[in-house]
Structure 1
Amino acid sequence: MLAVSAKSQSADDPLSGLDVGEHPDPQVPEGWTTVRLRTAALNHHDVWSLRGVGLPADRLPMVLGCDGAGVSEDGDEVLVHAVVASPGWTGDETLDPRRSLLSEVHDGTLAEVVAVPRHNLVPKPAGLSWEHAACLPTAWLTAYRMLFTNADVQPGATVLVQGAAGGVATAAVQLGSAAGLRMWVTSRDAAKGEAAVALGADRAFASGERLPERVDAVLETVGAATWSHSINSLRPGGTVVISGATSGDAPAKAELTKIFFKQLRVVGSTMGSRDELERLARFVVDRGIEPLVDSTRPLAEARDGFAKMVDGRVEGKVVFTV
């Protein structure tokens, strides 16, 4: 089958290890099934794998990809949930300490066919296009859990999203706006802030800019560079939800005094559950949300999409048709 794989790794030249070509069909363990993919999407996780982060070299070659949608063996249209729980685990799979993502232990979705646990199949709503379905299982699911499960905000609340242009941030803006939240964003690039406003954000601010009022929740994916601003921007009793630290995980100040004095909540958030992905898909259709798509191209041209992401020229999701 045609697949996009990491065959080697290089921190400085990640594309040197990318292979777009024939790969053996997936092995199907007991309790698993296969999905013939129609669309798949690219994530920064895939580039990090090529750089040697999170994917040990002894697992190569590995088919990349966490996002995908297609047709199951039973002929059903499905989304693929990428969080793979360990054998025997019950409950929220994101809390399983031995969980993995597709493309970490098991081959991923950038292929014609992917093998997944049967539990990981999520019905694709009839009103959800294949292109938009492929956008949801990773960045969009992460944003959904941050907003609606872990931030615990209600319509009318104000939420600050640090780093307006990232995939999770973009999804959070579109989801929060559709849910009746007042969404504010920060960005080092004024044009990216304006783009976020066009997607539904109420206001955009420069990174570190003093806000006109304190917010109910902050969605944090940047880390060290924005941590103090996030804490200072919260009202007493507010919540910061963190799902990443692209600028590093060691801020100059931990802000512990402000956290306990203002009784702030600091909540970690990773991906989302299968049930949350099902609710997310319905929500996107019911509210008429159209996930921002940077470009769509055939899987055979995946290298071009990877190059665009490595160069930092992606706005929205890069989607591959299979």
Structure 2
Amino acid sequence: MHALILNGLEQPLQLSETATPQPAPGEVQVHLRAAALNHRDVWIQKGQYAGVKFPIILGSDGAGIISAVGAGVDAQLLGREVLINPGQQWGNNPAAQGRSFTILGLPHNGTFAEYVCVSAASVHPKPTHLSFEQAAALPLGGVTAYRALFTRAGLQAGERVLINGVGGGVALLALQMAVAAGARVWVTSSSAEKIAKAVALGAEGGISYTAEKWPAQLTQQAGGAFDVLVDSAAGPGFNHLLDAAAPGGRLVFYGGTHGAIPQVPPAKIFWKQLSILGSTMGTEADFAQMVALVEHHRIVPAIDEILSLAEGEQALRRMDQGLQFGKIVLQIPG
């Protein structure tokens, strides 16, 4: 098969021929039709991710058709159109992932290839209203957004939501899911264009996080402070989110791209009775419920650009530069 292979630290992805994986007992082989990028792929290429090994086929997101099944797997699955849950072996505790938890694309070969083998429990029916490219844009970002909003923050209809740093796949899916659930959503970004695009997807407004005293301005714009705040940056801006939170608010974050959180005045948290919540990926139940939500509300993930598998290195560079609005997708020949 053809696959994009990363052979070393800071090396470009190489489109090469490699052995086609065969399903072990309990596994299915998926003939991939599309794969999507995540920042994780860039971090692995740069050596900024634990457990890096080479050679490796990157890619956590993928959608395709089941083309073979291993021993013990129902043969009726053959030919099914599916998307893949990239979270493997979550464990028995729904509150947090276990020590055996891994994400597709490292340490095991991922979806930047014509074929991949995964546990039969990891594949879910592709929502009927989505193309393969749209479905491939959903898994990692979708389950991360769903768990952050609903499992961790307990979002309810009518609540005000603030999504900090809109533009990436998780943030946009969180926006779309929150709107579908009946919440009122505002966003921040350093880009006026990204804020305008977020409004087109259902946000009620937004503000640049570079603006002076932006929490007060956005709170006035929204008619009140925010019940749920979603963040992936952390860093110095974290204090601003505490200022924007309503009493009893829940601040959930799933990343820390801006680094460590500086000293926080404790009264900002205890006097407002805030909840600070961490979230990572999601359980099999989270994933199934996310797919059901997307199907029911016919949510279509925002796609920035669709490129060919051979353009994988170009796609990584676009993501590294932070130019995208939505997911960058690789189309894989059928």
Give the TM-score normalised by the residue count of structure 1: 0.91
2:235 corresponding residue in structure 1: 224
Runs of 4+ in 1 over 4 A off after TM superposition: none
| Residues 35-70 of structure 1: CA deviation (Å, up to 9, x unaligned) | 11111111111111100022534x211100000011
Amino acid at match of 1:67: D
Partner SS for 1:95: coil
Following TM superposition, by how much is the alpha carbon of 1:94 offset from its aligned partner in structure 2, in angstroms?
5.4
Following TM superposition, by how much is the alpha carbon of 1:167 offset from its aligned partner in structure 2, in angstroms?
2.0
**Is residue 18 from structure 1 mapped to residue 13 from structure 2 by the alignment?**
yes
Alignment of 1:122-141 (within 5 A): 122-141=124-143
CA distance in 2, matches of 1:242, 1:5: 31
CA distance in 2, matches of 1:94, 1:296: 34
2:57 corresponding residue in structure 1: 63
User: Unpaired segments of 5 or more residues in structure 1?
Assistant: 11-15
Comparing 255-264 with 41-50, which one deviates more in the overlay?
Answer: 255-264
2:325 corresponding residue in structure 1: 315
User: Unpaired segments of 5 or more residues in structure 2?
Assistant: 69-77
Following TM superposition, by how much is the alpha carbon of 1:22 offset from its aligned partner in structure 2, in angstroms?
1.4
User: What is the percent sequence identity of the aligned residues?
Assistant: 37
Alignment of 1:1-322 (within 5 A): 1-10=1-10, 16-26=11-21, 28-57=23-52, 59-72=53-66, 73=68, 74-85=78-89, 89-90=91-92, 92=94, 95-207=97-209, 209=214, 210=216, 211-212=219-220, 213-248=224-259, 250-322=260-332
1:228 touches 1:254 (CA, 8 Å); kept in 2?
yes
Following TM superposition, by how much is the alpha carbon of 1:245 offset from its aligned partner in structure 2, in angstroms?
0.8
Change in Cα spacing, 1:126 to 1:195, as seen in structure 2 (3 Å) is: closer
CA distance in 2, matches of 1:25, 1:257: 57
Partner SS for 1:63: coil
Change in Cα spacing, 1:6 to 1:255, as seen in structure 2 (3 Å) is: farther
Amino acid at match of 2:320: V
CA distance in 2, matches of 1:313, 1:145: 26
CA distance in 2, matches of 1:224, 1:303: 29
Amino acid at match of 2:270: F
Partner SS for 2:235: coil
Partner SS for 1:225: helix
Change in Cα spacing, 1:100 to 1:239, as seen in structure 2 (3 Å) is: same
Partner SS for 2:99: coil
CA distance in 2, matches of 1:91, 1:251: 28
1:155 touches 1:179 (CA, 8 Å); kept in 2?
yes
1:13 corresponding residue in structure 2: none
Partner SS for 1:306: helix
Following TM superposition, by how much is the alpha carbon of 1:93 offset from its aligned partner in structure 2, in angstroms?
9.2
| Residues 214-250 of structure 1: CA deviation (Å, up to 9, x unaligned) | 11011011101321011111112110001011100x2
1:55 touches 1:104 (CA, 8 Å); kept in 2?
no
1:218 touches 1:240 (CA, 8 Å); kept in 2?
yes
1:66 touches 1:102 (CA, 8 Å); kept in 2?
yes
Give the TM-score normalised by the residue count of structure 2: 0.88
